[in-house]
Structure formats: structure tokens, C-alpha cells
């Protein structure tokens, strides 16, 4: 990450004092930091303090002849590898969601060709207000990344969601975002093969709580599901990605909904219907503890506890038999033996149109890896692909689905 360039926009909120520590933490890790301070932000922190910590001039005015001569607002917006808003106030998020450009910060957000990471900070009622939630959903759909907000005590004396993430949390989110490509391509000159279609993708594992600190999960990284969502968006689809807990960044141009458990994932999927295509790439836990404990489970003289497991809802089968069933329902079969046999049985049992089967035995390195070897199993037969990067698997799969939709969704 050494040498990566961060453009930090400091909004007007009491949490702006944390941005001073954020600059310091980023510089400690070798990042170059340029700061844009909004007029409201300057009521909480000074340009001098930010300039001292960043080692660079702090930018405040959109129309500054000196700044325009050396670095215009377009160049400033393009020079960074990532744009970070901390604190991201309700006003800044609203401006970004609606494309306003009446000051330096909002103009940079509209002109940048790089991804944006926002750390929201505001009163809990402002955060929970439907207008703010609509703006956040729009921005997620446009590809903006978010870290926080968390629950906590606020300067106004209230307690709840809206507290800005801590500087080290933001640094971790910055590093995760920079692990992928942060350049935003220009909009498509012509419609893609999925233009006008709505696609729902599930990705990653689910975490089923045992107690407040333990859970049942699996080794899924979410890389394949996220790559599919990205490929579908690149093909022109309106994409909703329902993601379990993963460390990979949200795909650009995708409305990502973050969940923890299988039941939450099913709820989010059903709330996102209707759709034209459903792709169930998530590795959903088959079971959960019937009654998760409210307190941490302790060792005792009686020996290991007995966990009463109950079956989780079957998301793929539910969607395949739903009253709003998509035209194409695609499932994944992650197997360690008899891959094709199990996939064919799953195809019939779940009543879906296509199963993408793969061998996830430890020796394959598929779980958490960057490559995959898949078999497309349908009623018409089995098509086996060579080992490919997961991004290429995603692109090929999306091309196949586009062709099937063109044939009437068969």
C-alpha cells in the first residue's frame, strides 16, 4: 500500500476531530494524504492542523485561482487512488446522491474517476431518517463504499447508530478497498446484454450465532459471488448483492445489502424480488443453533455442551418456488466428492434452472482462492470449464445467462 494516494474530505461534524488521527494513521502506513476541508468542517478543525499532519496544502475553495493554476478540481479528483469522506455528514451524502456540485467537496465527488469510501457521522435520527437511508441506498448502488456508522454515545447526549467509525476501522476499510481496482469506468456507450434486467446475487458465508462471541460458519470468501455481481452490473443489469460477512470490497455499481445469518439473507432476497435472474452463490450454513445463548458459553465440569441444531431456510428452493420466481434461478453446489452426481440431484430437488458445481476440497484451494473449476449442470447436460480466474468464471457465466434470457429464459 506504500505510496497510494488518498483524497480525504472532512465534513462538518463533531467527529471531524477523529479525522486528525485518521490522517496520522494513514501517513504512518505510507499513504499520501491530500485534504479537502468543507466550510462546515472548518468550524470543528483548522486547515493548519490538517496541513501539519498531512504535510500538504489543505484545499477549501472551489474557485481558487492559485489552486486552479497548479491543480484544478478535476485533476485533484483524479490524482487520488481512493476518495475518503470522514466524517460523511447527512448533507454531504445527500449532495453526492443527487449529483450536486455547489462547493469543492461535492464537485470532487461528482468529477472523480475513483471509488469513494464514506464514514457516516450524524445524529441517530438523522441516520435513520428515510431520506438518509434512501440516499445511502442510492450511493451504494452507484458503487460508494461505507464503513460504519456504529452504535455509541453522541455529543448530543443520545445513544444509537450514527457514531463515526474509529480511525483504525477506517484505515482497515481503506486497505480493503485498495486491494481491488478503484478506477470507475465511464458509463457504457451501448447497452450491455443484461440491460434492463434485474439480477439478485447472494455471496459469501452466513454466520449463525452460538453465543455473543461464537458462531457457525464456513470458509467462503465471497470472491466468486462478488465477481458475478460485478460482471452482471458490467453487462448492464441492475444488481442487488446480498452478502454475508466477507472482507472483499463491495462491487462498484451494485446495491449491496450486508447480512449475517441465513434468515436475514432470505429476508433480504425476498424483499428484493421481483427479479429476472437469481444467482445463489452464497455458501449458506445448513444449520443454526435452535436458541442462541445470550451470554458467553463457559467451560464446566459437566463437559462439552450439547448444541441443539435446527435447519436453516433453503433460500434457493424458496426462490425457485416463489410466487415471484425469476425467469432464471441459478444455484451453486460446493462439493468435496461426487460433484456432478450431487449437483444433478440438487438441480432436481431445488427445482432451479442451472447449477454451478465445483470441487471445494482443501487440495483445490477454491475456498478463499482466486481461481475456480466449475461444471454447469442443467437438464440438457453438463458443461465443464477449465480452471479460470474467478472474475473470468463470472464473465462467462453472465454471458451464458444473457444467452439463455435471449432464448426465452430456458
Q: Can you give the pLDDT at residue 40?
A: 92
Cα Rg for the chain, rounded, in angstroms? Answer: 23
- Give the pLDDT confidence of 373-395 residue by residue, as tens digits: 899 999 999 999 998 999 999 99
Q: Is the pLDDT of residue 235 over 90?
A: yes
Q: What is the pLDDT of residue 295?
A: 84
Task: Name 272's bridge partners.
Answer: none
Query: What is the 3-state secondary structure of 339-367?
Result: HHHHHHHHHHHHCCCEEEEEECCHHHCCC
Q: Considering the chain, what is the average pLDDT of its residues?
A: 88
**Residues in contact with 155: Cβ distance below 8 Å, sequence separation at least 6, in sequence order:** 14
Q: Grid coordinates 472548518 are at which residue? A: 42
Please give, one letter per residue, the 3-state secondary structure of 202-235.
EECECCEECCCCCEECCCCCCHHHHHHHHHHHHC
Question: Average pLDDT of 327-349?
Answer: 90
Domains of the chain: 5-178 (3.40.50.1950), 198-298+305-406 (3.40.50.10300)
The residues pairing with 117 across neighbouring beta strands, listed in sequence order, are: 84, 145
Chain center to CA of 348: 32
Mean pLDDT of 151-162: 73
State the cell numbers at 230. Answer: 460485478
More confidently predicted of 96 and 181:
96
Q: In what helix (H) or strand (E) does residue 151 lie, and over which residues does it extend?
A: strand 150-153
Higher-confidence residue of 367 and 105: namely 105
Looking at residue 192, what is its pLDDT? 86
| pTM of the predicted protein model | 0.58
Per-residue model confidence (pLDDT) at position 190: 60
pLDDT reading at 188 higher than 60: no
Q: How far apart are CA 359 and CA 374, in angstroms?
A: 8
Q: Which whole number is the average pLDDT over 32-53?
A: 93
**Whole-angstrom distance, CA of residue 144 vs CA of residue 149:** 14
Burial 354-385 (b: 16+ CB within 10 A, else e): bbbbbbbeeeeebbeeebbbbbbbbeeeeeeb
Residue 126 has pLDDT above 60, yes or no: yes
Q: What is the pLDDT of residues 4-36, one digit of tens each?
A: 999 999 999 889 999 999 999 999 999 999 999
| Structural contact between residues 372 and 387, judged by C-beta atoms closer than 8 angstroms | yes
Q: How is residue 69 written as a grid cell? A: 493554476
Taking the C-alpha atoms of residue 123 and residue 385, their distance in angstroms, rounded to an integer, is 51
Section 61-80 average pLDDT = 64
Convert the pLDDT of each residue in 69-78 to its tens digit: 445 666 787 8
pLDDT classification of 187: cutoffs 50, 70, 90: low
> What's the whole-number mean pLDDT along residues 222-230?
95
Any idea which residues carry the catalytic annotation? Answer: 156
Distance CA 61, CA 67 (A): 9
User: What dihedral angle (degrees, nearest 10) is formed by the CA atoms of 71, 77, 78, 79?
Assistant: 60
Amino acid at each position: 500500500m506504500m505510496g497510494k494516494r488518498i483524497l480525504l474530505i472532512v465534513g462538518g461534524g463533531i467527529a471531524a476531530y477523529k479525522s486528525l488521527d485518521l490522517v496520522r494513521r494513514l501517513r504512518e502506513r505510507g499513504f499520501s494524504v491530500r485534504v479537502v476541508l468543507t466550510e462546515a468542517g472548518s468550524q470543528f478543525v483548522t486547515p493548519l492542523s490538517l496541513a501539519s499532519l498531512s504535510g500538504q496544502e489543505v484545499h477549501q475553495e472551489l474557485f481558487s485561482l492559485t489552486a486552479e493554476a497548479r491543480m484544478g478540481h478535476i485533476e485533484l479528483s483524479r490524482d487520488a487512488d481512493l476518495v475518503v469522506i470522514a466524517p460523511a455528514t447527512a448533507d454531504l451524502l445527500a449532495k453526492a446522491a443527487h449529483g450536486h456540485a455547489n462547493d469543492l467537496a461535492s464537485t470532487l465527488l461528482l468529477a472523480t474517476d475513483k471509488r469513494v469510501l464514506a464514514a457516516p457521522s450524524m445524529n441517530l435520527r438523522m441516520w435513520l431518517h428515510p431520506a438518509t437511508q434512501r440516499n445511502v441506498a442510492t450511493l451504494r448502488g452507484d458503487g460508494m463504499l461505507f464503513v460504519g456508522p456504529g452504535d455509541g454515545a453522541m455529543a448530543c447526549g443520545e445513544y444509537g447508530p450514527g457514531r463515526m467509525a474509529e480511525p483504525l476501522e477506517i484505515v482497515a476499510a481503506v486497505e480493503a478497498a485498495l486491494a481491488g481496482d478503484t478506477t470507475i469506468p465511464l458509463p457504457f456507450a451501448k447497452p450491455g446484454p443484461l440491460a434492463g434486467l434485474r439480477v439478485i446475487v447472494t455471496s459469501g458465508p452466513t454466520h449463525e450465532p452460538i453465543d455473543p462471541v461464537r458462531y457457525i460458519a464456513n470458509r467462503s470468501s465471497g470472491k466468486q459471488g462478488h465477481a458475478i455481481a460485478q460482471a452482471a452490473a458490467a453487462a448492464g443489469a441492475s444488481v442487488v448483492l446480498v452478502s454475508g460477512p466477507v472482507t472483499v470490497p463491495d462491487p462498484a455499481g451494485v446495491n449491496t445489502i450486508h447480512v449475517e445469518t441465513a434468515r436475514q439473507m432470505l429476508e433480504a432476497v425476498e424483499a428484493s424480488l421481483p427479479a429476472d435472474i437469481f444467482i445463489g452463490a452464497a455458501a449458506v450454513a445448513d444449520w443454526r443453533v435452535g436458541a442462541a445463548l445470550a451470554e458467553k458459553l463457559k467451560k464446566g465440569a459437566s463437559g462439552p455442551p450439547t448444541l441443539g441444531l435446527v435447519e436453516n431456510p433453503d433460500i434457493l428452493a424458496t426462490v425457485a418456488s416463489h410466487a415471484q420466481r425469476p425467469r432464471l434461478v441459478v444455484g451453486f453446489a460446493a462439493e468435496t466428492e461426487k460433484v456432478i452426481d450431487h449437483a444433478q440431484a440438487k438441480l432436481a430437488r431445488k427445482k432451479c434452472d442451472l447449477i454451478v458445481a465445483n470441487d471445494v476440497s482443501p487440495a483445490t484451494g477454491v475456498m478463499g482462492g482466486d481461481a475456480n473449476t466449475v461444471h454447469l449442470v442443467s437438464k440438457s447436460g453438463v458443461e465443464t470449464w477449465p480452471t479460470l480466474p474467478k472474475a473470468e468464471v463470472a464473465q462467462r457465466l453472465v454471458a451464458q445467462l444473457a444467452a439463455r434470457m435471449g432464448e426465452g429464459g430456458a
